Structure formats: structure tokens, C-alpha cells
């Protein structure tokens, strides 16, 4: 009878050991996905903020002065529509020893804008996207004033030029 009690205990220990291993592996996967979900949410908020401030023609004084001289179309309120926001994994970044993620925004705007004006709008959108991610991960002190690149515990984030459709 003593042998049977030991057998139940060994099976219980084996079952608990397997469950702990599965739990640890699941946590590792979920943490990585959660980090990307936070980044995507922050990216959406940043794009909305970038479009909102640009569309309302609200600029810092130096940008205002530059635009009033050369890009007068941007001095009046306008409309930009976001079509899609996506990200792509670009592999390991050897400089930072983290996975590199690149965000790309697809947007629509009026045909009245020149390529230079669209690039200015896109730069403002991408700046706010990166800034929002940096704030979400509290990594504003570890990046430059343009927030490029932005860091999280496991990833380094950059942006591609806006694709105008």
C-alpha cells in the first residue's frame, strides 16, 4: 500500500511541472505581444494627434515661419484621412540588440498639395507617432529630439515615409 501513495504523488509532481513550463512559455509569448499592442495603440494615438495639429494648421513658431515663406497651402486648415497603420518586423538590430519594428502609415490628402508639402505633413504625422510610442514606454530620455528611433524593453521602433494613396 505504501507504493501506491508514492505513485500518485509522482504523477502529481509531473503534471505540475509540465503546467509550470507551459505557463512560463505562455507568459513569454504574451509579454511580447502585449508590448506590440501597446506600441500599435500609441501609434494610432500619435497619428491622430499629428493629423489633428497639422490639419488645424497649429505649428511651433519656427515651423510656422518656414511654412509661411515656402508652403502656404499648409497655413490653412485641410483634411487628411488615415487609410491604414501597419508595422513590419525587420529582424534584429545589431546596434541595440533588439528586434526592429517599422511603422508605415497610409493616408489620403487633397491633390492640391505638392510633394514637398505632403512630405511635411507626413513628417509631422511620423514625429507624433514616434513621440506617442516614446511616451507610452517612458523612453523619451533614451532617444533624440525627433524620437527616432524609439525604444521599448524588447523592440526598437522607426517609421517609414507616409504612403499617399
Beta bridge partners of 87: 103
Q: Which residue has the cell 513628417?
A: 123
pLDDT digits (tens, 9 = 90+) for 62-113: 878 887 777 777 777 788 899 999 999 999 999 999 999 999 999 998 888 8
pLDDT digits (tens, 9 = 90+) for 117-134: 889 889 989 999 999 999
Q: What is the pTM of this model?
A: 0.80
Task: Give dist(CA 99, CA 88) in Å, integer.
Answer: 11
Which one-letter DSSP state was computed for residue 161? P
**Residue from 70, 66, 45, 58 nearest 132 by CA:** 45
Please report how the helices 2-55 and 115-136 are oriented relative to each other, as an axis angle in degrees rounded to 10. Answer: 140
Percent of the chain with pLDDT strictly greater than 90: 48
Amino acid at each position: 500500500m505504501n507504493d501506491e501513495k508514492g505513485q500518485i504523488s509522482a504523477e502529481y509532481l509531473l503534471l505540475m511541472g509540465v503546467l509550470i513550463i507551459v505557463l512560463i512559455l505562455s507568459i513569454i509569448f504574451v509579454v511580447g505581444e502585449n508590448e506590440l499592442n501597446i506600441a500599435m495603440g500609441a501609434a494610432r494615438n500619435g497619428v491622430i494627434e499629428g493629423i489633428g495639429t497639422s490639419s488645424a494648421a497649429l505649428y511651433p513658431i519656427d515651423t510656422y515661419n518656414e511654412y509661411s515663406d515656402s508652403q502656404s497651402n499648409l497655413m490653412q486648415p485641410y483634411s487628411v484621412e488615415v487609410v491604414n497603420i501597419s508595422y513590419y518586423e525587420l529582424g534584429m538590430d545589431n546596434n541595440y540588440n533588439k528586434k526592429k519594428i517599422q511603422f508605415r502609415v497610409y493616408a489620403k490628402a487633397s491633390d492640391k498639395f505638392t510633394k514637398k508639402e505632403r512630405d511635411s505633413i507626413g513628417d509631422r504625422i511620423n514625429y507624433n507617432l514616434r513621440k506617442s510610442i516614446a511616451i507610452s514606454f517612458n523612453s523619451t530620455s533614451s532617444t533624440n529630439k525627433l524620437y527616432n528611433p524609439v525604444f521599448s524593453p524588447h523592440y526598437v521602433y522607426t517609421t517609414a515615409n507616409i504612403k499617399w494613396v
